Amino acid sequence: MKSVYNEFLLPSLSFFLRSSNVISISGSGGKTSLLIALGNYFYNQGEKVLLTTTTHLGRDIDYGDADLFVEVGERNRYKCPGEDKIKAKIKDYDRVLIEADGSRRLPLKYHTLRDPVIIDETTSTLSVVGLSAIGMPIKDVLFGYEDYYADTKDSSEIVTLDTIERLITLEKGVRKDMKGSHSFVVLNQADTLSPNDVEKVNAMMFRLGLNYMLISLKENKLYSGVVF
């Protein structure tokens, strides 16, 4: 499989999300960046856009011109204003984008029973994976490492592509509680990979038969992907 590189990342994402008015973003390794990028893109297309969270958002971030619906929390964070309040606002917006997970800014996430928090009204879930974790010590880059080790007994010290595959396929991995018919895995930080590793990621996702997009938010590039 040959990768295709282009700089039309946001138009490509928006194309696959064209019929999705409630988009929940889970996982790790670029959730907030994706929330902001999509929110600004839809806003600049003339849509009425709401950004919110069912967990937390950082308060030290510029969220752009879309409406931000949050409450002030502790430790320089915004918190969820209430799921019922979010649901009540859906009818007033063309697009509602929800950060539905927390990862303490680590590139990988293994979930507990409590997260992610994805509302039933979600029409697309984007489950994000940060590929910059490859080659790094697992303990340093995987949020929920203790639960991951308890469940898998994986004694590997370094994140490999096998680790990424495991986190994509495990019940409590990145795709946990995905909702919506136009949902897919977003493999972010492809700019940190070698061309050979890019091809390995594509081959893995093709073998798993999952909807995905391999991207770099940093470079605004779509590397490849398959979304049905």
pTM of the model as a whole: 0.94
For 58-90, the pLDDT digits (tens) are 999 999 999 999 999 888 999 999 999 999 999
**What domains are there in the chain, each with its CATH number?**
9-226 (3.40.50)
Question: Residue 77 is encoded by which pair of tokens?
Answer: 């964070």
d(CA 190, CA 96): 27
For 198-222, the pLDDT digits (tens) are 999 999 999 999 999 999 999 999 9
Residue 104, pLDDT score = 87
Helix (H, G, I), strand (E, B) or coil at 6: strand
Question: Residue 88 is encoded by which pair of tokens?
Answer: 């009540």
What are the start-end ranges of the E strands in the chain? 22-27, 49-53, 56-58, 67-69, 71-72, 77-79, 95-99, 108-109, 124-130, 142-143, 184-188, 212-216, 221-226
The counts of H helices and E strands in the chain are: 7, 13
- Overall size of the chain counted in residues: 228
